[in-house]
């Protein structure tokens, strides 16, 4: 994958900090450099593939180490990004790594997804946060969500999640891709 040197440098810095701090703070399930490189590549490919669906404001629900939101911000610097994470340790890491990266326009929020709200339209996105149905139910009263982007493996579990969430979804698209020979998808839900 061809990325500009500045983008690669920021992604490598982020990768290094997550790996270094993960041994102390359990920020992600990815324990090795190779595992976390897969997740970064997954977020890069998904962001590029679904970039037309992103509003000017993007909210990463259950952002953990900040992976998806940070990758979106690095690739799409014109977007305003919020990282919503209820775990204080992970939230503190986000603030630390964002200072180290020197990236503006990305705001870590220490709160529960159910409590978070904005008065402007935004795209809600998540990777490894919660099942689709649970996320939709948790956020059903949020009027300013224009759409959702769910990063998932393209497998039987994801198909089951979609089937379970079907009564809550009016329209969706699947943007399929391969990441290191693993079938992945971005599920774009436009109206719930």
**Is 64 labeled as ligand-binding?**
no
Q: Are strands 145-153 and 182-191 parallel, antiparallel or unpaired?
A: antiparallel
Neighbours of 169 (CB within 10 A): 17
C-alpha 101/C-alpha 177 separation (Å) is 28
Q: Could you tell me the sign of the dihedral formed by the alpha carbons of 7, 174, 159, 136, in that order?
A: positive
List all residues 6 or more positions away from 182 whose beta carbon is below 8 Å from its beta carbon.
38, 153
What is the Cα–Cα distance from 49 to 26, expressed in whole angstroms?
Answer: 29
Q: Based on DSSP, count helices (H) and strands (E) in the chain, helices before strands.
A: 6, 7
CA-to-CA distance for 97 and 77, rounded, in angstroms? 16
Instruction: Provide the β-strand partners of residue 174.
Output: 187
Q: Is 62 annotated among the ligand-binding residues? A: yes
Residue 35 CA from chain centroid, whole number:
16
- Any binding-site annotation on 98? no
Residue ranges for the known binding site for S-adenosyl-L-methionine are 62, 67, 127
Residue ranges for the known binding site are 62, 67, 127
């Amino acid at each position: 994958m061809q990325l500009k040197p500045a983008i690669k440098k920021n992604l490598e810095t982020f990768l290094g900090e997550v790996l270094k701090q993960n041994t102390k703070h359990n920020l992600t399930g990815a324990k090795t450099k190779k595992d976390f490189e897969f997740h970064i590549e997954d977020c890069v490919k998904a962001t590029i593939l679904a970039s037309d669906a992103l509003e000017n404001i993007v909210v990463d629900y259950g952002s953990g180490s900040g992976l998806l939101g940070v990758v979106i911000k690095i690739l799409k610097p014109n977007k305003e990004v919020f990282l919503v994470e209820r775990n204080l340790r992970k939230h503190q890491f986000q603030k630390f790594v964002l200072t180290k990266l020197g990236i503006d326009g990305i705001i870590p929020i220490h709160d529960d997804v159910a409590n978070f709200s904005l008065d402007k339209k935004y795209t809600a996105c998540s990777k490894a946060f919660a099942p689709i149905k649970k996320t939709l139910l948790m956020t059903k009263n949020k009027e300013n969500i224009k759409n959702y982007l769910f990063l998932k493996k393209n497998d039987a579990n994801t198909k089951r999640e979609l089937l379970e969430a079907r009564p809550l979804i009016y329209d969706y698209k699947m943007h399929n891709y391969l990441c290191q020979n693993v079938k992945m998808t971005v599920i774009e839900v436009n109206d719930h």
